[in-house]
Amino acid sequence: MPKHTKKRSTIKRKHWRMKQHAEENKAKTLDRKQLAKEYEPYNIRKRAFGEDLK
């Protein structure tokens, strides 16, 4: 007796949602990197410990 499997449309929807989330996360990451660059001179950790993270 065959196992119960999900319908193709359900899988397509799931993949579509995963792709949407991946795109949103990528955009958020780019925004964070840009903000980090802008606020780099104010980074307390770098000033306090003299770290160069380049």
Domain annotation covers residue 39 = yes
Domain annotation covers residue 3 = no
Are 53 and 46 in contact by the 8 Å Cβ rule? The answer is yes
Domain annotation covers residue 54 = no
Q: For the chain, what is the domain count?
A: 1
Residue type, 13: R
Tokens of 36: 């980090």
Domain annotation covers residue 21 = yes
Distance, CA of 8 to CA of 18 (rounded, Å): 15
Domain span at residue 34?
Answer: 8-48
Question: So what's the pLDDT on residue 54?
Answer: 46
pLDDT tens for the chain, 54 residues long, are 567 777 889 889 999 999 999 999 998 888 888 888 887 777 776 666 655 544
Domain annotation covers residue 36 = yes
Domain annotation covers residue 44 = yes
Phi-psi region of 8 (alpha: psi -120 to 50; beta: other; left: phi over 0): alpha
